[in-house]
Amino acid sequence: MRRLISMLIFLLALSSYSHSQAPYPVRGMCIAAPSVDQVDEFSEFIRNELAPAGLNLLILRVDWNYEYQSHPELRGNNPLTKEDVNKLVAACSDNNIRLIPQINLFGHQSWHSSLGKLLEVYPEFDETPQVKLPENYEWPNDDGLYCKSYCPKHPDVHKVVFALVDEIVAAFETDGFHAGLDEVFYIGHEQCERCYGHDKAELFAGEVTKIRDHLAQTGTELWMWGDRLIDGKTTGIGLWEGSYNNTHRAIDLIPKDVVICDWHYERPDPTAFLFASKGFNVVTCPWRTPEIAVEQEKMLRMFIETATKTMQPRYQGMLQTVWGSAKNFMDSYNGTIDSERFDKSADSFKELSKAWKL
């Protein structure tokens, strides 16, 4: 009964909580880096639409879509050049937007029926070499998953990935890097002679810490998704948004200066409090449902308003996620796309930008 009363009080406060000008520093978006032929258009979109909307942080998912010099064998098809990146850097710099690149590390080394470039070129890094991807884009695999991982204990994997990280951080002239680190299902697997038998929380924490420590050498801040640090079983939050393989215990093992991107797409789950209470800076991340994005933003304001002075600064703000292409997002935002291809995250972002200005 006490729990029910507490929840009713919380919901009443949330519904009646009025907006004021955004009381948090981060007003951001995470989106795929534009294709080469869309760089100029996207640069203008930053200047003419995103900056006026109040955006001050842009995370671009680059992954293998850059003309890497350190490991050219890992370039994707038609990769961005340094000149392309310079245009994006200039558009953000001119508008006081912090620009952060992302390369998925550890997990997400495959997608549906295709390997990512790292495991395609270096199959010896595969944590689960016997797990085969489905053919003809039929998903899911037999075990219901599509996110292969690299082995964090392979002696050569960090020589490769850290070279890419250093290169992309320098190219983007930035002091931040997003390492992904979400949906790591294959970890400490029996197919890996190096990892099997190790505590999965310690394996995950070890990789996060190794990445963080490498970035710290150049004063670069690590950002990551937070799902593997949430206890999925205890919270009932689900396989994708929480951990069911005990990596959640890593929340007490990783450095506190890692920034957590707390994503929830079907409900406005209040897990930002979990991360803030553990000492982390956290941003709340909606996706494609404007109503949920608005509720998440209201909740964030209430957390800040009711937090202690120690906790308040840890609620850093909002990060709109976009999981379509930059092209689709721009067209959806501008209303120049057919309904079947419409990216609903554009509507979500528009609602957020309204809240930032109230």
Report DSSP letters for 272-310, one per residue. Answer: HHHHHHTT--EEEE--S-HHHHHHHHHHHHHHHHHS-TT
Bridge partner residues of 180 (DSSP): 105
Q: What is the pLDDT of residues 250-274, one digit of tens each?
A: 999 999 999 999 999 999 999 999 9
Please determine, for residue 19, whether its predicted confidence score (pLDDT) is greater than 70: no
pTM for the full predicted model: 0.93
Q: What is the pLDDT of residues 137-153, one digit of tens each?
A: 666 677 778 899 999 99
Fold of 26-101+156-357: TIM Barrel (3.20.20)
- Residues across the chain: 358
Residues 31 and 49: beta-carbon distance below 8 Å: no
Report DSSP letters for 222-266, one per residue. Answer: EEEE-GGGSBHHHHT--TTTSBSSSGGGGGGTS-TTSEEEEE-SS
Q: What is the pLDDT of residues 129-186, one digit of tens each?
A: 998 887 766 666 777 788 999 999 999 999 999 999 999 999 999 999 999 999 999 9
Report which secondary-structure segment, H or E, holds 327: helix 326-334
- CA 33 to each of CA 124, 169, 225, 231, 289: distance values in angstroms, whole numbers, following the listed order: 28, 14, 18, 31, 22
Helix (H, G, I), strand (E, B) or coil at 1: coil
- φ/ψ region of 177 (left if φ > 0, alpha if ψ in -120 to 50, else beta) reads beta
Please determine, for residue 275, whether its predicted confidence score (pLDDT) is greater than 90: yes
- What are the boundaries of each domain within the chain? 26-101+156-357
pLDDT at 137: 63
